[in-house]
Amino acid sequence: MQHQELVEKIDRLKKERNAVILAHNYQRDEVQAIADFTGDSLGLSITAAKTDADVIVFCGVHFMAETASILSPQKKVLMPDIDAGCPMANMITADELRTLKKEHPGALVLAYVNTSAEVKAETDICCTSSNALKVVESLPKDAEIIFVPDKYLGNFISTKTGRPFIMWNGYCPTHVKIRAEDIERRKADHPDAVVVAHPECTPTVLALADAVLSTEGICRYAKNSPAREIIVCTEVGVLYRLRNENPGKTFYPATEQATCPNMKKTTLEKVLWSLDRMQHEVKVPDDIREKALGAVNRMVDIT
C-alpha cells in the first residue's frame, strides 16, 4: 500500500473508532507524523488520562500502554505491536521488589515509570525523567528510599538531591551505548555545539552534558536555547521533532547506535491493523490496577 493511502485509511478508521493516537518521542518518524500527540512518558500519561476518545492507540512500549490503562480503565488501550517491551522495565519483577522491600522494611519505594504494572502495584510513588527531582523533594526528609529499576537515573537524582537511595541494578541497553568518546568526537568536529543528555545515560556521559533532561525537556531546551548546534545524547528518534521544530538549528546524534529496537517495532501498517482489528488490547487487571493507581496518581498530582 502506498504511504498516502495508508495514512488516509488510518485517519478514516481513527475517526470511525473515536480513537486517539499517542506516540513517544522515540517512535519512527512516520509514526510520529500521524500521531495526535507526541511526547515523553509524563506527557503521554497526562494526555491518556485526559482524552475523551474511546480508544487509545499507544505507539510506544508496553509499560506506557499499561500506564494509560491504569489511568483510563474505561478506555480501550491498543498496542500495534504487543511485543514492544522495555528491557529496562523487565529488569525487575514484582517478586524481586517484594524481596527487596522485606530487606528494608519501612523504606519508601520510588519507581521510575519504566516498570510493569505489577511492580507499580508494589510502589509508593512513581516518577519519570522529567519530574523525578520534584517527586524526591516531595518525600519526607528522613525517609529511606528504594529506587527501581534504573541505576543511572537513580544515581543522577540521588546526587542532585543529596538523598541516598537503595538502588536496583537496572539500566537502559540503548542509552548505555552512548559513550563519552562519541561526544568528544562530535565536540572536536563541532566545537560550538552544546550537549544535551537523557538521565538514563551513564555518569561519564552526563558529566559532559550542558543539560540533562527528559525527551520533552530536550525538545523544549532546543527551542529556547540560543545554541545553533546541539549534540543529542539519547535515542535517535527524538531527532525527528528536534529537526522539524527547529529548522534553523543543526542536531547531531551522539551516536547512531542509540536506537531502541522496541520503540521501532511499531509501523504505520501495524497502526492500521491495530485500528482495524481493535488489537492488541492492553488491560491491567483490576486488582493490580487499584494498587498501581495510587503510585501513578501521586506522581501526576505532584506535576
Q: Which is nearer to ligand 13P, 25 or 116 (CB)?
A: 25
Select from ligand 13P, ligand SF4, none the partner in contact with residue 25, using the beta carbon and a kind-dependent cut-off of 5 to 8 Å.
ligand 13P
Least distance in angstroms from the C-beta of 183 to ligand 13P = 18
Q: Which is nearer to ligand 13P, 44 or 272 (CB)?
A: 44
Least distance in angstroms from the C-beta of 28 to ligand 13P = 15
Q: Which is nearer to ligand 13P, 25 or 47 (CB)?
A: 25
Select from ligand 13P, ligand SF4, none the partner in contact with residue 40, using the beta carbon and a kind-dependent cut-off of 5 to 8 Å.
ligand 13P
The secondary structure of 27-86 as a DSSP string is S-HHHHHH-SEEE-HHHHHHHHHH---SEEEEES-HHHHHHHHHH-TTSEEE-S-TT---
Select from ligand 13P, ligand SF4, none the partner in contact with residue 87, using the beta carbon and a kind-dependent cut-off of 5 to 8 Å.
ligand SF4
Under the rule (CB under 6 A), what is the footprint of ligand 13P? 25, 40-41, 114, 128-129, 172, 198, 200, 214-215
Q: Which is nearer to ligand 13P, 10 or 88 (CB)?
A: 88
**Rounded distance, CA 31 to CA 45, Å?**
18
Select from ligand 13P, ligand SF4, none the partner in contact with residue 129, using the beta carbon and a kind-dependent cut-off of 5 to 8 Å.
ligand 13P
**Rounded distance, CA 242 to CA 232, Å?**
10
Under the rule (CB under 6 A), what is the footprint of ligand SF4? 61, 86-88, 114, 172-175, 200, 235, 260, 262-263
Least distance in angstroms from the C-beta of 36 to ligand 13P = 17
**Rounded distance, CA 100 to CA 7, Å?**
47
Select from ligand SF4, ligand 13P, none the partner in contact with residue 214, using the beta carbon and a kind-dependent cut-off of 5 to 8 Å.
ligand 13P
Q: Which is nearer to ligand 13P, 172 or 288 (CB)?
A: 172
Select from ligand 13P, ligand SF4, none the partner in contact with residue 262, using the beta carbon and a kind-dependent cut-off of 5 to 8 Å.
ligand SF4
